[in-house]
Amino acid sequence: METDVSTRSRAGRISRATLTEQLEEALRADILDGVFPPGRRLRAAEMSERYGVSATPLREAFQRLAVENLVELDPRFGATVARISESDLRDVYDMLSLFACMALERSIERGDEAWADEVRRRFDAKVAASQRLESGGSLDDDARRRLGTDASEAHWGFHHALYAACGSPWLLRFVATLHAHAERYRRLAMQTAGLRRDSRHEHEGIMIAALARDRERAVAALRDHLDLTVRLLVDLLADQPAS
């Protein structure tokens, strides 16, 4: 019987035909979840044992994650979880703000009622996932990590729904890649100290303006949301040891 690798933060044997893709997904989730922190060596023997794979798919998964800048490859030291820095944080969020605001503006121009309904549905799903995470304080680390992963996926689901009607697959691809990096910073900070903010109010403000077809107000709300995230993260990262 095949093992479900969606457990993500827990080791599991991967045996499906799309082995490298599943391994890539599992490694990405463990990096984003903080199981492997920035600067952590990903030793081949340890990773092979953890995920139950041979060297070949592991090497291919590392190479794919290196393209996303989640893993650093060195001929001497092998694979390492990519390090974090304030300059990289600002660069990621600057580019995310640029492309996400462009995608939102285009979606408001092009989106139909089906788009609007999906935005509302994804907002409700995000709120529900956040509430489950907030109420999971008594759970063990693995359970809370899974709730954190669910909340992050719901968070991206809402943002993706906002941008989905932009009409450009390339633009959506750029935003998705940048969001994955931004989410890594956001989740690292949340695991350390939490982000004190009214996230629901911020996202609701973006949604209300977007569904009212108020492009200027919606883009301003999204930009303010991302800028606040950067300010909070810079303060939190300043208190952490260098990776």
pLDDT in tens, the chain (243 residues): 334 444 443 444 444 447 888 898 889 888 877 789 889 999 999 999 999 988 888 999 999 999 888 899 998 889 999 988 899 999 999 999 999 999 999 999 999 999 999 999 999 999 999 888 888 767 776 777 778 788 889 999 999 999 999 999 999 999 998 998 888 887 766 655 455 678 899 999 999 999 999 999 999 999 999 998 898 888 877 766 554
Single out the residue in 65, 81, 97 at which a domain terminates: 81
Domain range for residue 21? 5-81
- CB under 8 Å to 122, separation ≥6 — which residues? 154, 157, 158, 160, 161
CATH number at residue 164: 1.20.120.530
The C-alpha atoms of residue 104 and residue 235 are separated, in whole angstroms, by 28
CA angle at 166 for the pair 163 and 169, rounded to the nearest 5°: 95
- Rounded (to 5) percent helix, strand, coil in the chain: 70, 5, 25
pLDDT for the residue numbered 137: 66
192 and 93 housed in the same domain: yes
pLDDT for the residue numbered 192: 56
Counts for the chain of helices (H) and strands (E), in that order: 9, 2
> 78 — alpha (psi -120 to 50), left (phi > 0) or beta?
left
pLDDT for the residue numbered 241: 56
Confirm if 136 and 190 have CB atoms less than 8 A apart.
no
List, as one string, the DSSP characters of 90-124: HHHHHHHHHHHHHHHHHHHHH--HHHHHHHHHHHH
Single out the residue in 81, 112, 132 at which a domain terminates: 81
150 and 93 housed in the same domain: yes
90 and 70 housed in the same domain: no
111 and 211 housed in the same domain: yes
pLDDT for the residue numbered 1: 36
Confirm if 205 and 221 have CB atoms less than 8 A apart.
yes
In a domain, 243, yes or no: no
pLDDT for the residue numbered 17: 44
User: How many domains does one find in the chain?
Assistant: 2
229 and 109 housed in the same domain: yes
Task: Please state the separation of Cα 168 from the chain's center in Å.
Answer: 21
Single out the residue in 81, 99, 129 at which a domain terminates: 81
